[in-house]
Amino acid sequence: MRSLRLFAALCAAVVSLTAVPARADLKVVATLPDLAALAKTVGGDKVDVIALALPTQDPHFVDAKPNLALALNRADLLIAAGLDLEIGWLPTLQMGARNNRILTGNAGYLDASRFVSLQEIPAGQVDRSQGDVHPGGNPHYLYDPRQALKVAAAIEARMSQLDEKNAATYKANLAKFTQELQAAQTGWEKRLAGFKGVPVIAYHRTTAYLQDWLGFKTIAFLEPKPGIPPNPSHVAQVLAQGKANKVKLVLKEDYYPDNIAKLVASKIPAALVTLPGGTDFRSSQTYVQRLELMVGRLEQGLAGKGE
């Protein structure tokens, strides 16, 4: 607790020493680059958007640096994935930001998980012995464009509430995005129709919503428990399961290490597919472009052209 207070004090010093620049109509901070991309698509030129995490970072483990608290100090709206995905770092930043608008429960805080159809909600009591299990459900819902569309609608509603004069623009941008995403989704589903029923192995439990959308079957995970690195005995079990089930693909995000995934894929054998960890928002990639990249890699994997 003392370290949290020291960090908050450091953040406060950074905030107090930094001049506040000219404001956009809305300043938005999103925890994840996918959320930032959705916010920018809805907000357009009426909003400035910052993503706290990089697509190359595991969103469970983001460094709570003072410059991120400074971004939150200036924010009108904070959009979080929720479901305790950011619990290890976001509360510290909120405390250090000295901005009541974006505190949990206030109008400037949007928990995107409240608007999606959740997967993998634990039936019983959850404790740390089970690994990094999320009591409210699996937080990786932005792998499914159907859930992303619900999130975009929630972002539009909150932006329109906070900035009524631009509400018509936000609604129009959402309508345009809805049309674009649904058209792309139809094409993606046709291209990946052969994915239904295909057995796969994943590194982490990021596949629940992707599986629900595309219909493949995750038969094992390289992590023995969520958030626990693979160990030799568990990898041997997964390899045996992979061979027995004739697994076709091994899936991992690009922020997870390659060595174990490559080994298992080569021994089965199966195609290794590295999924983008999120939208490359700082390079102006859109959410639709990020999913197109993911779908393209899955398509290659189905064709046996993994890494």
Mean pLDDT of the chain: 92
Residue 20 has a pLDDT of 46
Q: How confident is the model at residue 127 (pLDDT cuts 50, 70, 90)?
A: low
Architecture of domain 26-187: 3-Layer(aba) Sandwich (3.40)
Sheet holding 77-80, edge to edge: 47-51, 26-30, 77-80, 109-111
Same CATH topology for 26-187 and 193-303?
Answer: yes
For helices 2-17 and 66-73, what crossing angle results, to 10°? Answer: 60
pLDDT of residue 134: 83
- Is the model's pLDDT at 75 over the cut of 50? yes
- Model-level pTM? 0.91
Determine the pLDDT at residue 120.
94
All residues at 6 or more sequence positions from 139 whose CB lies less than 8 Å from its CB, including other chains: 81, 82, 83, 84, 85, 113
Residue 14 above 50 pLDDT? no
Whole-Å CA distances, 41 to 24, 31, 34, 90, 134: 15, 16, 11, 23, 29
The interaxial angle of helices 33-43 and 145-162, nearest 10 deg, is: 60
Least confident of 19-33, 48-62, 141-155: 19-33
171-214 residue pLDDT tens: 999 999 999 999 999 999 999 999 999 999 999 999 999 999 99
What is the distance between the terminal CA atoms of the chain, rounded to a whole angstrom? 45
pLDDT of 266 higher than 50 = yes
- The predicted pLDDT at position 287 comes to 98
Within 228-274, residue ranges assigned H as helices are 232-244, 259-267
Edge-first strand order for the sheet with 217-221 is 217-221, 199-202, 249-253, 271-275
Protein fold of 193-303:
Rossmann fold (3.40.50)
- Looking at the DSSP bridge assignments, the partners of residue 29 are 50, 78
Specify the pLDDT at position 179. 98
Over the stretch 27-73, which tens digit does the pLDDT of each residue have? 999 999 999 999 999 999 999 999 999 999 999 999 999 999 999 99
Range from 4-13, 64-73, 126-135 that averages highest in pLDDT: 64-73
What band does 279 get if pLDDT is binned at 50, 70 and 90?
Answer: very high
Domain ranges, ordered by start, for the chain: 26-187, 193-303
Name the H helices within the chain.
2-17, 33-43, 66-73, 90-97, 145-162, 167-191, 208-214, 232-244, 259-267, 287-302
